[in-house]
Structure 1
Amino acid sequence: MSDLLSRKLGAPGFSAEIYVKELTQSTVGGHDLLQHRQKIQALSEETNQYLKKNVYQNYMQFIETAKEISYLESEMYQLSHLLTEQRSLIVTLLENSLLGDKAPGLRGVEKPEIKAKFNAEVAVNLNVNNQEGRKRLTALLEKVEGCANVVESLTRTLIHEGDMVELDPSDNCAVGRVRGFLLNDSFMIASWLPNKRGNMRYQYQALYELEGLAVINIRDLGPVKYAFKLMMFPDTRVLQCANSNDKKEWLEAFELAKQLKNKKDVSPTPSEETKDNSYDDAFNPFAEDENLPYIPNGSGSSPEVAESIPDWVIEVADDMDVYVAQRDFEEAVSLAEKTRAFWDGASSSVVNLHRDLRLKIDSRIRQLSEVLMNELRVSPDKSLQGGPRAASRAVLLLSRLGQASQACDLFLKHRSALLKHNLRQLKTEGATTLYIKRITSLFFPFVADTGREISRVFPKNKVCASAFVVWSRNEVGKFGNNFRKHVFTSGSTLTTVAECVALVRNHSEQLIEIGLDLTFYLESELRGQVERCLRDAREKLLESIKLRALEDKWRPVNLVNKSGIARFADDLSEIGIASIHSLVYDECWVALTSNTINFSKAYLTFLDDALKMPSADSNIFVDEILHDIFQAQLKHVESSLRSGKYKGEAKFIHKNASFLIHTVLSLAQHRVEEVRLHPSPSFAKLRADFEWLANDGKKIISTIKSPASDQSFI
């Protein structure tokens, strides 16, 4: 079977959807599906073992390959270091040129008098020149993992760096060790790597533009010393230095960087002579994009190119900050989509010349995505009231930003928290059936609404649909645990359990309306407890039959008066026996024993409860219990006849047996057929074995007709 299944699953034209569709059509009930699932899991485990054996057989080859990869990685680091040193050497040689001219290809080298003025300003504060800062920034590629997008901007220089400890803004507890890098236009934070990988010592965390960054000095109070606060929308970070000197250097460096950036923003346009002496990007051997076109006069920011960028693109970052502050997320997302369309339609030269602007806009889009995700994240300080559409706004916007999977995951987590909150609001006071009715009326419509919202927000998204199915199964599992805790207790009667199980089965059919049928899974979750309740009820009924048999004197029941007969008729009518005229004589006597009457009530009540609980997989189990209980009562009748102790009451005993077989048993068989739509063989066997009891002691051999074909049984 496993070979056939493996060939079928490994066939070239295998389609999982078609296979599952054919499988569901050919199987009956959830038991066959679970068996098939176990076969597939067994095949998966066998395949995993086979793969493990292959890995072990080629273990030495894996080791050699890993060594070669490690050697190649170290060589790449060495090559990167050599290229950096060669570039620094070329820059130094050009600066010391006797002719004073500079070859094209090196950007950022200014005229001597401008560079001297810049170095003088910086040296007064931090003693770091512009070119040296650029070298140090380029060297970060070997130390900080994930900072390539920061270093690729050729106008950036490194001004100051140092180690600090990040504190939690709420309780001032240490979060972790970080390293800060102050650039001429931004501030970068990197965390320490616990396990070094080559020369990499830090992991890139975040980059903040100096324009939107506020640096606030924090007074030394208690354990918080030598710290300052960085505020940028929507984040706040607290950094602690090692001593007061380090803190002073950092604050002065931030102030100097902002002053230099402001001077650069308001400085006049360079003259034509300055432009002629600058260097063209097209001849830069270290530029990442070799397709950068050659632009005459070499500045890369000519008026013609600048005019090709609309003004609204330049103001996108500021506009998005305003929209986010006003919580106008729809406009912010629309602006992000418009900007994305602009960059997609722009030429490569325009994109390369405005790379810094695009990176700035991308950071704003990431901040917008984070804000929208925070709208869906569950926290104690957020209200969980509202339906699925209350969270679908953020989900739709995240989907438009290209983050549908994250949005779906956060949406389902939000719905789980909301469902848990709503269930906790329901009080467990009162009857168990009433509480189960409330939670089922809440749970299944909630899951159905979630499925409809998933289909509306993520149409034709199979990944999100699969995530919803997994989420629904997990939630049904949690519901099953809660159901078992409240229903299957020592004080619960079989009738209470049956009513609660019937409520759950009826409400679970609401999920079929959205194309999700988890009834078989829910029944498998409850089957063990249901069967235990049925076994306990069976033992109690058998014990009561034995006790009543010891006290049975085979005497008719005297109901005293007509009102007693009326009450007796009402009691039998409730269990389905409509007519009692043939059983009543002398106005107040009933031709049945109290044992027969009590057994009939208990058996038919048990039958109604049993038919509410099991599924198609438990029919055989229920039939066995029904057969054993009725057989025990008929054996009591048979033993009374065979004992010879009640020879004078033999006719009366036969009449009680006739009532049990022709009325009670026929009624039970009819109710089973109404529920299952097919007869039960256990009842036919009982009728065949004990029919002679109802015929004045003469055992007969005849074909037993079903109630559907012989209405005289009812």
Structure 2
Amino acid sequence: MAIKHTTSIRETRPVRNKATPSISIDSFSRPNFSPEQYLESLRVKSAGENIPTIHAALQNAKKTNSRGWQKALYTNYDSFIAISKEVSMIEQDMGIMQEYLVATDEVCSDLLEQEHGQQEVDENPVSRTARRRTVRMSTFYEQNNAEQVNKLINKIERARKLLPFSANRYIMGYFDNVYELSPSNQQARQHAHLTIFNDVILIAFYRRRSRSAAPLLIAEKCFSIKDTIVEHVNSTQKSRFIFKLSCNSETLWFALPSIDKMRSFSSILSSALNQGNGSAAAAASRKYQQGLHDNTDSNQNETSEDQEKDHELELEVSKLLDDLGGCVACREYLHAVQTIESVKRKLRTFSKPNQKLTAELEKGKSGLVKLILADLSLPCAPHKQISMNIMLLYKLGHDKEAKEAFLNSRSATIKHRTRQLRLEGDTQIYIRELSVVYFRLIRGTCDWYSDFFKNASMTSGEDKVEILGHAGLDLKFMLDQEFFNDLTHSIYRYGERCLHMLTKTVSDDTFAIVSKIPVDPHSKLAQVFGNHIPLANSVIKLNDLLRGFGEEVNYIVSDSLYGQTVISISSVIENILKNFLNSLRKRDLSVEQELALLVNTQAIISWAIPRCAQQLDRIFKRTVTDIHNLEHRLEGFPATLQEVFCQKQAQKLTQNVYSTHLINCSLNGTIEDDVRPSEGVENLLRSLGELGRELDNWPLRKRIILGGIIDHLFFILIDEKSWEKDGAKLEFGFEGVHKLVLDIHFLLRVCGSLVSKSTNALANKVCERALRSYFNGSLRREDKMKDRDWYDSRVYATMEILGYSFPEFGKGFEHRAQAGPAKQVEEADKP
């Protein structure tokens, strides 16, 4: 099948000068093309300064050629697919032909031996006939086994690719009703098919090409018998029997439906393991060639088979040892360690210990360990390289040498970095830089040591200190007493630095939500915050500082430092809460920012403090009651901030929307029957509605906050400053006092259950004071005052007109607007 190459290969002509030769792609396609000679000719023809130009021209030629081939591939994609299928079929036919050729060679060798070999003159006809029958039967068995294997390979897809070639392979058994299981929950994943040969186990799974297609067997794994380990697993279900197949680093779980199947599988697998790599036909052929015709020589046969097997293993191990030497020479440490593990597994399969190969393995292993230790001892090595070297030494069983080499390497790194510092005249700067280098490197060494080694006793010298303590030299007490003042002062200074950082962070914080922490729906936090906790930059900074504080204290933890640690952490937490309170009082924040501040205050109490307490519990290995009590002691602080927020919002409403100064109280006209509450109280309710809609977006107690704002609103209205204007007391006229009472009555009716008993009492005081001012004032008239029924009728009439303007106050408001005056009065009187 011909492939059309549609891309024309043209010459790449770079910009020339007199000394720069051209690059031609056509010269690359010549049959006798030699890259070395071509480059040498270019080097001779060109000057030295034109080498970069030639290199660029070669790169352009490479790109041009690759683009042409890529275009050809896209153009002839169908042809490539057809060719690949043909090649795959040819490979399968070649494999079958190779098996036939091997079988033919064995038959020919048996016939030649029958004709020319091992025939004695005095051999009787009976033994000669038996020998010929044995040869014919062995040949028949080999052909029959080969046919069975070929049928199975044709039945299972990808089996020919996975099975390694072997002339003496035959099938010992297969199991179809098998299921692969998940190791985590022992649930069935897929239907499997296990075929046990004399040398391998072929694992295939049933797959469907489409939903309507029939399931096909597709081979996935092929495990060698000699490297396979079978382990039975206890199952909670009596109807299935679970076992694990492990080969090298792969482990698969399977289940059989009955105990008989399990016994049959174990028996067949044991037979395959006992026979090793050879087949029964090959064993019979070897017996015949060796002249073992009677049963008296069975012990000698087993010995010869063991010797032959050991000889084959010795050749394999020798080859692996040669590979080990090459890996060590090329410094391929990981491959070398894997080779050593393979050699150890093969040495365990010898019938007798092989001292020679064991000595060679130890020699190669010691050389590899020396190289890895030398590489580990190099100063200034990166973290990844050190981690890999220590892991390899652990696998080789040299963990103690790895610890010593690591510490020596870090000591050399400290010396190297110290020598890089220069004393340029200022001793203080030099000592400061020196201390920074030592502190950072020693701290990094401690962190890396705890990551690399599970047993960190060497870092602190705890064993040696305990030995001295038993001898009567308590160095711990002396060291604690010597360093106590410095350590407590360091903790205090660290806490002060955290205070300054948090103060600056809060002052610059816009209280925008930068992170949302998911919450377990069954936890207590879900009852406070819902599905997630919205966090501002200040709280995230606080959490990072508290976590860093705990990590720093962990290096010097002792019972004597408990008090200063708790004091410093408590001061950090209390300081940020005070900064939040000052920001709410003094900064000009929007309503959204103030609500975010309230939520983050609750997040500090309910989320940040418990996390810090749990960390300190792990560090001090006991319950840090002071931090846990701090959480309970500060539980009321969010309510304090909510009270400040309500007071601040009430002041804004009285200054800008509604107050006794913003309405004309001195009006002394008559009251019309269709009078409505003032526009100021309507705007006040609209402002409360907008605030309520904003509260719906935050995990805050909406009704309590709105009720607090209304409460503070009446506190401001009852204050003396609200009844004075320009140094004189306010005067109320007939129309002014009725409008004020109507506004308050309308506000209380619309707000409904948001109004508390104390708010109702304050509202009554405001109305009572306004009426007293009217009766005691100079604008009093003889007209009759309106009664409660008149106020109720005007309120309900206004609510029917403006009910759609206050959707935030719920369906109860709309229900009252539609139920009629009697029902409205009944519902309005309910708490």
Provide the TM-score with structure 2 as the length reference. 0.26
| Higher RCO (Cα < 8 Å, 6 or more apart) | 1
Bigger CA radius of gyration = 2
